[in-house]
Homo-oligomer: A and B are copies of this chain.
Amino acid sequence: MGGLAKGLAIIEAFSPHRTRMTVSDAASASGTTRASARRCLLTLTELGYLDFDGKYFRPQPRLLALSSAYSGPRSLPQLAQPFLKAARDELHESVSLAVLSGDKGLFVARSEAERLVTTGISLGTRIDLYCSATGRVLLSAWDDERLAAYFDRIKPDVRTRHSIVKKAALREVVKNVQKLGYATIDQELEMGLRSIAVPVVDERGNVVAAMSASTSTARVSTVQMINSFLLVLKANAAGLGRLTASLITNRDDRVDLA
């Protein structure tokens, strides 16, 4: 069903940074023709997901209804929240949880640094695996064949002047993550942003997610980050990992409607 795919692609093309789009914007952003984009946008507007003022289309609150499908009572974000909060309280930095979603890492839960209550902002953001700490942790769980195929597929973008883009170098980085058991990013994604991530491993040994802490280059050096963040993250990731068994049992269907 091409129409559905196009429509969803257009929805995803919106972001906190792109809060409005014209027909042409949507067409180029989603990689379709203007005619298709127009039909999608019109339909989405009719359904109440977008608003149209004659020139620009804007996201409407109803889009939230699409994601409320995910996040059941025993979903990963739910389970993770106490651990993310614990880590944040100890580190005083934002702590996030990302899972694999295609060739990207998808942030499913977060505990913000300063503010006590998150609004779901930035949740659902998808970032390429090669350029984020969480992504590299997720990559580190892949076998060589899968990694090779991945690196064949992608073409790395230069985000900042610190970005590693040479595929050989990236493979080396992932190898290192496999060895060390954690990944760091130093201003590769955004200037001034430094992150460290560790895997969340379930009892079968599968990497089900990556937990990361992000900080400012002004506050914490990479060495400090490794020294002071790593243990806290490891501990909370381990705690979360132990709980994820219930997620798996959730798959063979026992409980249903309340």
Q: Chain A interface (Cβ within 8 Å of chain B)? A: 1-8, 11-20, 39-40, 42-44, 47-49, 53, 56, 58-73, 76-78, 81, 84-85, 99, 101-102, 106-109, 111, 115-126, 250-251, 253, 256-258
CB distance from A90 to the nearest CB of B (A): 14
Cβ of B258 and Cβ of A17 under 8 Å apart? yes
CB distance from A60 to the nearest CB of B (A): 7
Cβ of B68 and Cβ of A66 under 8 Å apart? no
Cβ of A101 and Cβ of B1 under 8 Å apart? no
Query: A255's closest neighbor in chain B, by CB?
Result: B19
CB distance from A47 to the nearest CB of B (A): 6
Cβ of B66 and Cβ of A12 under 8 Å apart? yes
Query: Ordered nearest first, which 5 A-B pairs have the shortest CB separation?
Result: A68-B124, A64-B124, A14-B69, A120-B120, A67-B67
23 sampled A-B residue pairs with Cβ under 8 A: A11-B66, A12-B69, A14-B69, A19-B72, A20-B256, A48-B102, A60-B70, A60-B101, A61-B70, A62-B101, A63-B124, A65-B106, A65-B124, A66-B124, A68-B124, A71-B119, A73-B121, A77-B119, A81-B115, A81-B117, A84-B117, A117-B117, A118-B119
Cβ of B121 and Cβ of A118 under 8 Å apart? no
Cβ of B119 and Cβ of A16 under 8 Å apart? no
Cβ of A116 and Cβ of B49 under 8 Å apart? no
Cβ of A119 and Cβ of B78 under 8 Å apart? yes
Query: A111's closest neighbor in chain B, by CB?
Result: B117
A2 CA to B13 CA, complexed, in Å:
21
Cβ of B121 and Cβ of A11 under 8 Å apart? no
A199 CA to B125 CA, complexed, in Å:
32
Cβ of A1 and Cβ of B1 under 8 Å apart? no
A68 interface neighbour in B43, B44, B76, B122, Cβ under 8 Å: B122
Which residues on B sit within 8 Å (CB–CB) of A78? 119, 121
Given contacts A65-B106, A69-B15, contact A40 B1 (CB under 8 A): yes
8 additional contacts (CB under 8 A) given A1-B3, A15-B69, A63-B66: A1-B40, A8-B66, A16-B71, A59-B72, A62-B102, A64-B67, A84-B117, A118-B118
Cβ of B47 and Cβ of A61 under 8 Å apart? no
Cβ of B3 and Cβ of A68 under 8 Å apart? no
Which residues on B sit within 8 Å (CB–CB) of A73? 16, 121
